[in-house]
Structure 1
């Protein structure tokens, strides 16, 4: 472990006894980010999941059909022609894709120079892009350290299970739990999701 991982695991373990047990069971959740906001937005729209967490690998298969490793505004037309037609997208999803393409054709934001709030404001201005998608971009693409996606379905299930939280109060209870993880909420999230996947493999 490096100095960051040591600081993170020490902090989370000291603040949350349940998370301490999780950390003891799973490896450091290392994810190699594309750093490509356009690419990851398209993954979220097409697959309803960011590709780092995808099990169906739909987006990866579409990229392969278009002979692309990474989606950009410049190669989107080729991707659309060769691969996108192979998936049945709702009109709402297709409209969101068009909005995203139009935005990136006109703008080249300096994401690294923006605060989380500024990223939320810019991405939230694109029609069809909601809070969950923005959280995924902050968490996985931009690798911000203190993001908590309270709307994430899988995270809600894990917290409900491990923390014995009442499903009727899940959102407020999740936020209380995650508040203790600051300034490393993102790592708490990734540890819990890594535990979920490891637990799933053990049961297979």
Structure 2
């Protein structure tokens, strides 16, 4: 699959072809745990796969946990969650997530992207960006394009010369040629951004 994806992206986007030539295949191991990754997004304001502050990881370590589940959430709450100042809205979102997972056990892998969006979107406080992160990293869907992602916007402004007035429209237009592998285009661009950031340190 890797060869098929890189050939398709390179053939359809000269800028992305240069990025692909510079960096390795952006391989990320999923937790396959939507509960865990949702709470990462809510607590840290970033999904842990991309976090540099590692706030969520430190909280897990303090609670002596490797991965957060519905069964061990009480331990996490007692040992670590009090160390983070969360807004009332975030607490309400956490409570909504807990209530949902206590009542439901969706078969996420069998759900299509639209079904996942509708299910997660029904939870108060869960927006488009968070749902995109779950689809992109946790469920590893191949054709996700998180146009609202701040870091993706920055790198596409830089590489594609996209202006700020119609940036979402222009970003989506660029990514059309990546389909059905837009997720991999996104991961390549974010990996390129991180590589350049490390080189400047």
**TM-score surpassing 0.5?**
yes
Aligned 1:50-65 pairs, distance under 5 A: 50-65=47-62
Which position in structure 2 is the counterpart of 1:104?
101
What is the CA-CA distance between 1:169 and the residue it aligns to?
1.3
What's the secondary structure of 2:165's corresponding residue? helix
Partner residue, 2:183: 186
TM-score (norm 2): 0.99
**Aligned with residue 113 of structure 1, among 103, 110, 128:** 110
Q: CA deviation at 1:192?
A: 0.1
TM-superposed deviation, 1:151: 0.3
Q: Shift of residue 166 of structure 1?
A: 0.8
3-state SS of the aligned residue for 2:24? coil
| Alignment of 1:10 onto 2:2 | no
1:20 matched residue in structure 2? 17
Q: What is the alpha-carbon root mean square deviation over aligned residues?
A: 0.4
How far is 1:64 from its partner? 0.3
Unaligned runs of 5+ in 1: none
Q: In the aligned structure 2, how far is the partner of 1:30 from the partner of 1:72? A: 24
Distance 1:6 1:184 in 2: 12
By how many angstroms is 1:167 displaced?
A: 1.1
5 Å-filtered alignment, 1:61-76, equals 61-76=58-73
- For these two proteins, the number of residue pairs brought into alignment is 201
After TM superposition, the score normalised by the length of structure 1 is 0.98
- In the alignment, structure 2 segments of 5+ residues that lack a partner are none
